[in-house]
Chain A
């Protein structure tokens, strides 16, 4: 027996040494109960970096200020941010690490729909409350009672676009979208278009990361629409549209409004309307404070995803204050109520655990590369 033990140990020391870092390096601060750990899986590298990095700066800011304000009933919070490199499989492993090694009280993320899907299966089986920074994913997610979404479902984004379209009474719409985010939004536009008396006269798509889409744009132009929907997570289609002389107004979606893309548009960033939530240049009254703090901290303007990160931490802390850091189901339960965030007014009591209403949308317009907030509001409740 002893000999067996000995051999086993020797074998282990041999083979495990490589994994040592992986096994034991994980800090076990969670044990020494002062700080409360919150996990966050974000896409800091890879194609999703634009989202993840924005969200992280919002999260970090909220973490700092909330701790200064006394954290959760005197206990400070630590947000452990992990990078999934925009890959769902890695997101899952990171979630495992956060939940079982770091003993986090609650999960924030992921930045991308796919990563969220990969994590949510795990958080659901562990009853771990998760605040996703994405819109509602595959249908199954409706059955996950611990998964909250801070961004609206794509159906709502589509509605917001159509509301504006209707108000401008555009009937013939051309669509230029990428095969990822754009496809998701368009699938909903397709089904709802007729309700708004909108017909799609040309629908052209291109692969994520495409570097030239001028042919698709030309095809859209050839259909001679009254307005053009451009929905993509890059600046390429916007440039292409203008370069092939699509002079019609462009209506886009929240996912395309990040400064990363707008800067990429250069001087073509003109006459483009986004239904979104936060216009840093001209925030709504309840957003002003956040924008100022953010500007002070990073001396740049925040946008939706920074605000989402900020809200996520605040929602988490509220729940932890109410339910304490240990009872997962209690935490999730505590979250299930309306919350007026910086980005939007949520109602987590709603069936989809998001409960954002059209009235939360703010319409911004790019005029000569500058964002301006439109007075238009999508009044009708969803």
Chain B
């Protein structure tokens, strides 16, 4: 095995890690604020990706406004989902599985709508720094991938500040940890939950505009991303944004190394087995501060 190959696989692993992490980030944000495991996080990104494509490739807008449009679209979808899907479910006393399935239904819907209205092609999008490659020794990485990594770190930091500093951030936490108490001290709990979904949607949107130039936009990308993001988020302990990215990185790198050192056919077998072993070894979650198994 050449050094180039090793570096290349590492670069790929890290890039994918951040991709998974970005999706996991959104799942964590939403779980943290509403205790809902959102199965359509990847589809927030799908929508954002489509909007980005329409703006930058189809209408030929410059990259930055297109990005913002995509993020906005994500936030809007998040808002819609909370208002029309999640809130009614909660009102009618849905349990954890209900939320999972409602959002899963949303995911199916998004993907089906994409196929119907956006078509079956997978559309390439010029990313930040176009399609240019950056050479690392003899290996390569997309310039856009570097941007993706940098920006996702920025997002994590921003979220951390948001939850620790911003009043709304604290209010959201209060609302999710102890709704009744929060209501008593005058926090509008339903609104906080909606805000959480808007935030989660925005994070999904950011993920979408960052990821789709890397992997092209395709009506099937949503659930695939969600599965990986879900894995990342849970490994990193649901509700812990930092953990989600760390979990994603772990998954991405394990996958890459599995391909290099064992066999690409068994990549998933190896990474998933590793996953199970980790969970059994550290039943409280790798980044849990004590607390129940599964965070």
Q: Residues of A at under 8 Å CB distance from B?
A: 45, 47, 49-50, 53, 179, 204-207, 209, 211-212, 214-216, 218-219, 221-222, 234-236, 239, 243-245, 259-261, 263-267
When A49-B120, A216-B259, A219-B260 are in contact, do A244 and B218 touch as well, CB less than 8 Å? no
A205 adjacent to B264 (CB under 8 Å)? yes
CB neighbours (8 Å) of A239 from chain B are 124, 216
When A204-B259, A215-B8, A219-B260 are in contact, do A261 and B131 touch as well, CB less than 8 Å? no
Partner of A50, one of B19, B120, B221, B267: B120
Measured in the bound complex, the distance between the Cα atoms of B214 and A155 in whole Å is: 34
A263 adjacent to B259 (CB under 8 Å)? no
List of 6 A-B pairs having minimum Cβ-Cβ separation, nearest first: A266-B124, A264-B122, A218-B8, A222-B5, A211-B215, A215-B9
B160 beta carbon closer than 8 Å to chain A:
no
Output the nearest chain A residue to B112 by Cβ-Cβ distance. A45
CB neighbours (8 Å) of A260 from chain B are 120-122
B115 adjacent to A243 (CB under 8 Å)? no
B4 adjacent to A218 (CB under 8 Å)? yes
CB neighbours (8 Å) of B123 from chain A are 263-264
Interface range for B? 35 or more
22 contacts between A and B (CB under 8 A): A45-B112, A49-B115, A49-B120, A204-B259, A205-B264, A206-B264, A211-B19, A211-B225, A214-B8, A214-B12, A215-B13, A215-B255, A215-B259, A216-B264, A218-B12, A219-B264, A235-B122, A235-B216, A236-B122, A263-B124, A266-B124, A267-B131
B12 adjacent to A207 (CB under 8 Å)? no
Starting from the known contacts A49-B120, A211-B221, A215-B260, 19 additional A-B residue pairs (CB-CB under 8 Å) come to: A45-B112, A50-B120, A204-B259, A212-B15, A212-B215, A214-B12, A215-B9, A215-B259, A218-B4, A219-B264, A221-B5, A235-B122, A245-B140, A260-B120, A260-B121, A261-B122, A263-B121, A266-B216, A267-B131
CB neighbours (8 Å) of A214 from chain B are 8, 11-12
Main secondary structure of the interface of A (DSSP, over half): helix
A109 CB, min distance to chain B CBs, angstroms: 18
A117 CB, min distance to chain B CBs, angstroms: 23
Most chain B C-beta atoms within 10 Å of own C-beta, residue among A216, A244, A266, A267? A244
B256 beta carbon closer than 8 Å to chain A:
yes
Partner of B139, one of A53, A218, A235: A218
CB neighbours (8 Å) of B265 from chain A are 179, 205
Most chain B C-beta atoms within 10 Å of own C-beta, residue among A205, A216, A222? A222
CB neighbours (8 Å) of A261 from chain B are 122
Output the nearest chain A residue to B133 by Cβ-Cβ distance. A243
A244 adjacent to B220 (CB under 8 Å)? no
Measured in the bound complex, the distance between the Cα atoms of B8 and A235 in whole Å is: 20
B142 beta carbon closer than 8 Å to chain A:
yes
Interface residues of B in 109-130 (CB under 8 A from A): 112, 115, 120-124
B216 adjacent to A236 (CB under 8 Å)? yes
CB neighbours (8 Å) of B281 from chain A are none
Measured in the bound complex, the distance between the Cα atoms of B221 and A103 in whole Å is: 39
B122 adjacent to A218 (CB under 8 Å)? no
CB neighbours (8 Å) of B5 from chain A are 218-219, 221-222
CB neighbours (8 Å) of B221 from chain A are 211
B212 CB, min distance to chain A CBs, angstroms: 10
Contact indicator per residue, chain B 1-28, by CB within 8 Å of chain A (1) or not (0)? 1101100110111011001000000000
Measured in the bound complex, the distance between the Cα atoms of B142 and A212 in whole Å is: 12
Contact indicator per residue, chain B 249-266, by CB within 8 Å of chain A (1) or not (0)? 000000110011000110
Output the nearest chain B residue to A265 by Cβ-Cβ distance. B124
A243 adjacent to B260 (CB under 8 Å)? no
Interface residues of B in 1-59 (CB under 8 A from A): 1-2, 4-5, 8-9, 11-13, 15-16, 19
Output the nearest chain B residue to A211 by Cβ-Cβ distance. B215
A243 adjacent to B140 (CB under 8 Å)? yes
Output the nearest chain B residue to A216 by Cβ-Cβ distance. B264
CB neighbours (8 Å) of B180 from chain A are none
A240 CB, min distance to chain B CBs, angstroms: 9
B166 beta carbon closer than 8 Å to chain A:
no
A55 CB, min distance to chain B CBs, angstroms: 13
A224 CB, min distance to chain B CBs, angstroms: 9
Output the nearest chain B residue to A183 by Cβ-Cβ distance. B265
Measured in the bound complex, the distance between the Cα atoms of B2 and A221 in whole Å is: 10
A45 adjacent to B115 (CB under 8 Å)? yes
CB neighbours (8 Å) of A243 from chain B are 133, 140, 142
Partner of B220, one of A47, A221, A259, A267: A47
Output the nearest chain A residue to B214 by Cβ-Cβ distance. A212
Most chain A C-beta atoms within 10 Å of own C-beta, residue among B122, B124, B215? B122
Measured in the bound complex, the distance between the Cα atoms of B218 and A207 in whole Å is: 16
Measured in the bound complex, the distance between the Cα atoms of B218 and A267 in whole Å is: 17
Partner of B224, one of A211, A215, A267: A211
CB neighbours (8 Å) of B8 from chain A are 214-215, 218, 244
When A45-B115, A49-B115, A244-B140 are in contact, do A222 and B122 touch as well, CB less than 8 Å? no
CB neighbours (8 Å) of A204 from chain B are 259, 264
Measured in the bound complex, the distance between the Cα atoms of B12 and A267 in whole Å is: 21
CB neighbours (8 Å) of A234 from chain B are 122
Measured in the bound complex, the distance between the Cα atoms of B142 and A221 in whole Å is: 17
Partner of B216, one of A179, A215, A259, A264: A264
